Amino acid sequence: MSMKNVPDIVVGRLPLYLRALSFLGEEGRQVTSSQELGQKLGISPAQIRKDLSHFGEFGKQGTGYDIKYLSEQLRRILKVTEEREVALVGAGDLGRALIHYEGFAGKGFRIALVFDSNPQKIGQTIGPFEVLDSESIETIVADRGIEMAIVAVPASAAQDVVDALVRAGVRAILNYAPITVKVPAGVQVQYIDPVIHLQKMTYYL
């Protein structure tokens, strides 16, 4: 099956499988099954097998999945076999937290540039980064060939920032700003808004 025909919801579950496999690998495990993965993730074994079948055959009935091999294949499918540079726009509290977040290490991503529009923050050093002027996004990001970015700015500034990133060649954006932005075809945007998720959960309380 063509990668373009794989449902987005299936692609969204692949990182969950990879994370579960990573935990099992860290425990020294070599083999797992769709039943075990399903128990850990709350996903039916049949759904896991169906999801993986979009990309090939990775296990054998009765023997399960080789954890190392399946992990390598999922990293290949998700295109995280090599470390990708990420531009971060927004050096406020959230941006600082992301700079110091250690979870990116070994997962295929590395923050490489940090931008902000606040004159008081431009030129400051946060961790290993000097905060750059957001006005230079198009030039610097394009020169580095960076294709991924994280937006951690107020809603009022998000669309302008996203437009600049797209003009610089960015094709994948993780948006923390509480607003839906417009992007051209071929640019992927994922949204993280804690309020939205909290509001969804309160429905069930």
Q: What is the pLDDT of residues 34-56, one digit of tens each?
A: 999 999 999 999 999 999 999 98
71-118 tens-digit pLDDT: 999 999 999 988 999 999 999 999 999 999 988 888 889 999 999 999
Residue 22's nearest CA partner among 114, 105, 125 is 105
The domain ranges of the chain are 3-77, 84-197
Question: What is the per-residue pLDDT for 141?
Answer: 98
pLDDT for residue 2: 46
CA dist 42 and 36 (Å) reads 10
Same fold, 3-77 and 84-197: no
Q: What is the pLDDT of residue 96?
A: 96
| Neighbour count for residue 28 (Cβ, 10 Å) | 7
Give the mean pLDDT of 17-33: 94
CATH number for the region 84-197 comes to: 3.40.50.720
pTM equals 0.87
Residue-level pLDDT at 61:
67
CA distance 115 to 118: 9
Answer yes or no: is pLDDT of 3 > 70: no
Q: What is the pLDDT of residue 57?
A: 84
pLDDT of 14 over the 50 cut: yes
Give me the pLDDT at residue 54, please.
Answer: 92
Is 67 exposed, middle or buried (CB count within 10 Å of its CB: 0-12, 13-18, 19+)? Answer: buried
Other CB atoms closer than 10 Å to residue 23's CB: what's the count? 11
- Which positions ≥6 away from 94 have C-beta within 8 Å? 152, 176
149 vs 168: CA distance, rounded Å: 11
Mean pLDDT confidence for 142-167: 97
CATH architecture of 3-77: Orthogonal Bundle (1.10)
- Tens-digit pLDDT profile for residues 164-202: 999 999 999 999 999 999 999 999 999 999 999 999 999
Residue 163, pLDDT > 90, answer: yes
